[in-house]
Amino acid sequence: MAGIEEVARLAGVSTATVSRALSGRGHVSPASKAKVEDAAARLGYVVSSSASSLASGRTRNVGVVIPFLNRWFFSSVLEGAQRALLRQGYDLTLYNLSGGGDERATVFEHFLLRQRVDAVIAVSLELEEAEVRRLHELGKPLVGVGGPIPGVRTLTIDDVAVARLATEHLIGLGHRRIAHIGGDLEFDLDFHLPTNRRLGYEAALADAGVEADPRLFAPADFTIRGGYHAAKQLLGVPRDRPTAIFAASDEMAIGTILAARDLGMSVPRDVSVVGVDDHDLSDFFGLTTVAQFPRGQGEQAVEILMEQLEPGRDAPPPAATPLPFELRVRNSTARAPEA
């Protein structure tokens, strides 16, 4: 197998330039980088990850910890992070914590503390002080996505404001009997997303002079199936039907649309539906939603990590960075029938 010296001779550059060009660490002119990459490809040369790790003390591997893998939002954040890490020449190790508390303790007390990853991205996990301290003691940069974590650079979404925006859209269309499908207690853990989205919904109603009716709330599990069954409960009694439903996720909103159709109702003529996320299927279902750009969240988290990992770059102090969101109106919402 060809070595770095042969690549350097063929490209007409030094071995140091080859190392910088192929590792992505340090400045190399575009012309020299192209020559090195061409020479490496012709010789079949691949950078040795073990040698690179020994030289730099790095594994060029980032651990990503998420609570669920089978949810579109989390898999989309993961996709964005992986795409950005590949561009930087880093591998990704995934830790899926859907198994519960014992699994989380094992990951944070053993796997992440070994010399397996250079840094950690925690998605929608409200890290404990001890978890943060152990990672920092080992010099492992940490970025959180989803909510504020003391002492950690984080990307935060204002879930109260997100829910308020979605509900205000329905109020602006003349709806007053607005139901909410939110998360049940199982999901009201880290950063209390279900509670915050319900608070935003209720705050928007209060500002419009509408009293929140507890009979218009149905819990679900952030899945299409869960949203379907919750919507069946809300829409099953004709005389008490809401004219609009705000679902705390697009998957539950899609389930709501399917339930309404099975009940012989037309969306949005009989009931308007709005969700949160801008799921890949939202456009297909014509779903009005509040987009929160999860792939961009993953990419931005990696950008922040690189500021802490790359030598010579001064990382900003720990702080919470607000994430953008926007209302995307499609054809699942319309003016209220009585309006």
Q: Which residues of the chain are under the pLDDT cut of 70?
A: 1-2, 23-26, 46-58, 99-101, 113-115, 188-189, 311-316, 339
Same-domain check for residues 271 and 194: yes
CA distance 270 to 132: 49
CA distance 101 to 99: 7
Same-domain check for residues 210 and 134: no
Task: Evaluate whether 304 touches 88 at the Cβ level (below 8 Å).
Answer: no
> Residue 225 has what pLDDT?
96
Domain extent at residue 15: 4-47
Q: Judge whether 335 lies within some domain.
A: no
CA distance 154 to 203: 26
Same-domain check for residues 243 and 304: no
Number of neighbouring beta carbons within 10 Å of residue 15: 14
Same-domain check for residues 317 and 215: no
Query: pLDDT tens across 286-311, in order?
Result: 999 999 999 999 999 999 998 888 75
> Residue 24 has what pLDDT?
64
Tokens 């409200």, residue located = 126
Same-domain check for residues 152 and 179: no
Same-domain check for residues 214 and 142: no
Q: Judge whether 146 lies within some domain.
A: yes
Same-domain check for residues 167 and 283: yes
> Residue 48 has what pLDDT?
57
What phi, psi does 153 have (nearest 5°)? -65, 125
* Domains identified in the chain, total number: 3
Same-domain check for residues 14 and 103: no
- Whichever domain contains 100, its CATH number is 3.40.50.2300
Same-domain check for residues 170 and 274: yes
Query: pLDDT tens across 128-141, in order?
Result: 888 888 888 878 88
Same-domain check for residues 286 and 307: no
Q: Judge whether 329 lies within some domain.
A: no
Same-domain check for residues 70 and 144: yes
Same-domain check for residues 286 and 302: no
